[in-house]
Every structure is written in structure tokens, then in C-alpha cells.
Structure 1
Amino acid sequence: MRILVVGAGGIGGYYGGRLLEAGRDVTFLVRPARARKMRSSGLMIASASGSVELPSTPVVTAAELKSGGTFDLVVATCKAYDLPGAMDDFAPAVGPGSLVLPLLNGMRHLEALDARFGANAVLGGLCLISTRLEDGGRIAHLSDVHRLTFGARSPAQGDAVRRVAAAFEGARFEPVVAPDVTLAMWEKWVFLAALAGITCLMRASIGDIARAGGTGHVLAMLDECRAIAEAHGRAPSESFLAMSRGRLTDPDSALVASMLADLERGGPTEADHILGDLLLRGRAVGLSAPLLEAALVAINAQANRAARAAD
């Protein structure tokens, strides 16, 4: 299977690097500056699960991809706000039999990908991992969790999922074929929206919020997110909710959403894709989510302030 990984940051670089390490036919689609760096120094992963240096790393830019033929699988790992440009970049790699596996958060990206490439070509997917792309280009894997969950969004995609599973088998991460990948994506969305919403609203970690007496606010925000998912026929399981409540109320936790780091450094965030889209889906079925809405207002207000300061 010929695999194109869109992006070589913390997510794409890690999973693509693990597939390359396992001998798979992997090429990275990256921007010109990143391509020059990778062509000179390759790809490095530092991980408790096994570090690896990959000096010969196949890379391609968008301009070069236009004459490179199509791929069997395109793994999209960009941020949601970069997806429109990324689709333009990797479109030449998608042929009649190609599959697209997005690892973005939320659900709205599926609509854009379906419209561009056809729903039959687009699988469902998500990942559970903590990584950091360091200044020198090395990818630091920050925990022992590196799960990549994927699956069919329709029965017609069953054979395609089995082909992807075979390609992932033996690579040094945890591939999981979900029997209901759409539910798995909704569950992650619920957790992530609650985490991002509360840590960005409070500008603090989960532990700091819990120790300040904010546990009730955290659980209320989680329940707002759960109610929206349930109203759309994707009720999170009780075991998932129990896990989420435990992680989101742990007074010893240093957990924060990456969205908070994006916000604090004045960069773009996925707030509209993660929080805004969930709010819109709630309103569409008559549900209000005041804490989630307050979090989105706080994020947008801070972004407006940063934009004025930059001017």
C-alpha cells in the first residue's frame, strides 16, 4: 500500500515515522521549509516505546506531488483550519481507488472531505497520543499511549478498512479498528470540547481548576457536550463518561488542552471547529450550552485582543 501522510508534525511525523520504521511505503507531504529540513536530517522520534532515527525520509511538496501519481491511502493530520488548503495540496494524490483517513478532531471536516472526494473514499479516524515537535525537528512522544482508531463509516467500506489494518499491522503504535468509528469520534469530541472549553475559559489546568473548587463547572460543561451528542443519536457510553469525569476532575492533573497553548501564544485555534460546531449542532436541536458558549466567547475575545496587539 502506497501511503501519503499529510504533515510531519507531532501526529503525522509520529505515525508516519512508525509506519516507515516498519518498512511501509510512506511519503510525507510537507511545506518546502520542512521538506528541506527532512531531506537533510531525516526524521527522529524520541519515545519510551522506542526511539528511532530515519535518515532516509521520503518527502514531497505540493508542487512536486502534482506529477507524483496517486496513493492508496492519504492520512490527513493537519489542523482543522488548514484543511481547505491541505485538500487542495493532496488532491492530486487521490485517485478513483484511493482512501482518505483523517485524524482531525470534531466532525465537520468529514463534510468537507466527503464533498471533495466522495463519502465512499473517506474513512473515520481519530488518535490518542501526546507529542511535541521540537525546535530541531525531533518528535517527542510524551506518554506511553499511541493509539490510532479508525473504521468504516458505511458497510461498503469494510474491505477498505481491512486493507488499512493490514498495512498498519506490525508498526510500533496501537492500531484499533472501531466497530462504530463515528461514535468513537463523537466521544472524543465530547471529551475534547469539555477539556478545551474549561481550560481555556479558566486559563488553568484541570488540577488547578479542581483545587480551586471548579469541579462542578467542569462536570456541567461535560454534561452540556454529552447532551448534544446524545441528541444527535451518538450517546457516549457510561464507561466513557466515567473515564472522562475522572480525568477532568483529578486534582493532581496537569492536563490542559493544546488549544490553550495555541491561545496563549497568539496563534490560530480550532475553537470554531471544536466548540463552535458543537454549539451549532446543539442549537439545531434546541439545546443551549451556556458554559460552552462562554468558553468560545472567551477564546474569541482573547484572539481579538491578540490581533489588535499585533496591529
Structure 2
Amino acid sequence: MKPTVAVVGPGAIGTTVAAALHEVGHTPAIFGRTARAQLELRAGDDRVVVPGPVRTDPAQAGGAVDLVFLAVKSTQVEAAAPWLTALCGADTVVCVLQNGVEQETVVTAHLSGGRVVPSIVWFPAQAQPDGSVWLRGGARLTLPDTPESRVVREALRGSRCSVELAADFTSLAWRKLLQNAVAGLMVLAGRRAGMFARADVAELSLAYLRECLAVARAEGAALSDEVPHELLAGFQAYPPDMGTSILADREAGRPLEWDIRNGVVLRRGRAHGIPTPISDLVVPLLAAASDGPG
């Protein structure tokens, strides 16, 4: 029997996963803030239309499902909590498609049933003005190696979104967090990936990444000294016009995920007694850009 699947939050990431599920016969029920007839993903020459509708009322959920993909930002989890209540039973697996290393803590606080699977999202998907989503590369998820994660892998088996299970999920999650943290500099500069070609920005980025690396290691991540250089090289290899979700939120005037992407380094650094002078500067500026006043 096919599992019953739901996607909560049909933005760029949610649409990509919904399209992947649809292509392999696991078309999900879709829930979000805005009613829509369907979702559309564009990837190269492919165009995938996922039938809707996108439902906006938790009363329309129809009961618990086997698998929920929660694809809202950390700033939207509280608002999505009614959907989790409506869709989750004791055996529901909730795969969190979200940034950060605190997914389990954040989402579990809003669950009365279900089991949370954190994930690392490794694909560039961008929402387009016409409502479609442009997938600019291959789609891949990394999950911890647990029985719940295998439910997710089975649902996406054979799809355009590959799933890998990692024995050392902590190290990979912190590596992705370092990437997300340095992307916050794009918000402060108001520029896209091309900015990392500047020598001064590259120098600042490496210093910030080394600071984050020290905190990650204190949290149990096994990451080499080369990781900052590898991550910077990745940004320098992106198309100059490549953005990031936190920059898109800033440009649209939406709240920023500054705490789970950048604030966590400052918080955990202080807990371990690690100096974080760059975070001491970057985090208040990102917080102010997000929350004001002014």
C-alpha cells in the first residue's frame, strides 16, 4: 500500500519535493497559506505540474497521514502548528525540510504525535514571479540513518530527489550550517553570489567560517580545516546572480531566519566559552534587518 503523504509549505523547497513525489506516484496532499490550483516545477527542459488544490484550512486535512514534509521556514513553524496537529498521528513521520541544526527541538515543541526526522537540503530552488519554481541543479536530501528516515527514502525512491542516510549526520548538518551562516553576509551587502569574488569579502568569509568551525567542532562535528576554503570555493563557483533564501526574504521584507542560521553560532559559542567576534557583529545586524525597529 502506498503511504499517504502531505507537504506543508509549497514554497521553492516544498514544490520541488512535491514534484518529485508526484513523478513516482506518491502525489501528496498540499497545504499552505495561499490557495492554488496546482504547483509547477521547472528543471532544465522538464516541466512538472503537481495537481492541487493547495488547501489553506487545517479542517480540510482529512486526518493523520503516514508522512509529512514540513517545508516552512523556522520563522513559520508556529503558524504551521495547526497543520501538524491535523495531519500527525502517533506513527506519522515528519521530515523537516528546513535550515539549521535545531530542527528536532523546534518542531517537536509543536507536535502532540509523530516522529521528527531532520534533514539537510542540498538543492538550489528559486520561486519565480509567475508562481512556478526553478530548480537550478540536482535535488538531494541527507537524513540521519534511522528507521524513520527510511520511510522518507522509500517514498522518494526513484525520484528526481535522491535521499542519502548518514551515520554522522551531526557533522554534515553543521557543515551545511556553516554554508548558511556565511550566506548571511549577502543580506548585509545586499548582493548575490558574485560578491564572493571580491578579495576582501573572501577574506572576511574565511574568518567567519573559521569562527563557525570552532563552534561546530565543540558541538561534536568532525570537520577538517579545509572546510572553510571548500565552502568559499563553492560560493565563488555559483553563477554571479545566484541568491539565497535569506536574501530573498530580505528583499521581500519578510522575517529572516537569522537566529537558526547565525544566532545559533553565537549562542553555542558562548555556551562553550569560544570567542565569536564576527558573530558578535553579524548577528545583531541581521536581527535588526529582520525585526527592526526602524
TM-score (norm 1): 0.84
TM superposition shift of 1:233: 0.9
Residue type at the aligned position of 1:98? T
SS of aligned partner of 2:100: coil
RMSD: 2.5
Distance in 1 (alpha carbons) for counterparts of 2:46 and 2:274: 46
Match of 1:150 among 133, 143, 149: 143
Residue type at the aligned position of 1:145? G
TM superposition shift of 1:119: 9.9
**Conserved 8 A contact 1:74-1:98:** yes
Match of 1:194 among 167, 174, 182: 182
Distance in 1 (alpha carbons) for counterparts of 2:20 and 2:218: 38
What is the total number of aligned residue pairs between the two structures? 292
**Conserved 8 A contact 2:59-2:86:** no
Distance in 1 (alpha carbons) for counterparts of 2:209 and 2:69: 30
**Conserved 8 A contact 2:19-2:49:** no
**Conserved 8 A contact 1:46-1:138:** yes
For structure 1, the residue ranges without an aligned partner over 5 or more in a row are none
Tell me what 2:57 maps to.
62
Tell me what 2:169 maps to.
181
Tell me what 1:266 maps to.
253
TM superposition shift of 1:58: 4.9
**Conserved 8 A contact 1:207-1:254:** yes
Distance in 2 (alpha carbons) for counterparts of 1:115 and 1:238: 35
For structure 2, the residue ranges without an aligned partner over 5 or more in a row are none
Distance in 1 (alpha carbons) for counterparts of 2:254 and 2:276: 26
Report whether the alignment pairs 1:96 with 2:90. yes
Residue type at the aligned position of 2:8? V
Tell me what 1:46 maps to.
42
% same residue: 27
Tell me what 2:213 maps to.
226
**Conserved 8 A contact 1:6-1:74:** yes
Q: Structure 1 residues 120-129 or 102-111, which shifts more?
A: 120-129
Match of 1:3 among 2, 5, 23: 5
Tell me what 1:127 maps to.
121
Residue type at the aligned position of 2:175? E
TM-score (norm 2): 0.88
Match of 2:150 among 147, 158, 162: 162
Tell me what 2:282 maps to.
295
Residue type at the aligned position of 1:6? V
**Conserved 8 A contact 1:13-1:139:** yes
Matches for 1:81-120 after TM superposition, within 5 Å = 81-117=75-111
SS of aligned partner of 2:89: strand
Distance in 2 (alpha carbons) for counterparts of 1:278 and 1:87: 26
With over 3 angstroms needed to count, the CA separation of the structure-2 counterparts of 1:264 and 1:136, relative to structure 1, is closer
With over 3 angstroms needed to count, the CA separation of the structure-2 counterparts of 1:200 and 1:230, relative to structure 1, is same
With over 3 angstroms needed to count, the CA separation of the structure-2 counterparts of 1:267 and 1:177, relative to structure 1, is same
TM superposition shift of 1:212: 4.9
Distance in 1 (alpha carbons) for counterparts of 2:40 and 2:251: 27
Distance in 2 (alpha carbons) for counterparts of 1:209 and 1:4: 38
Match of 1:279 among 237, 248, 266: 266
TM superposition shift of 1:241: 4.3
Q: Which has the higher helix share?
A: 1
Deviation by residue 1:155-174 (Cα, 9 ceiling, x = unmatched)? xx32x322322211111222
TM superposition shift of 1:178: 2.1
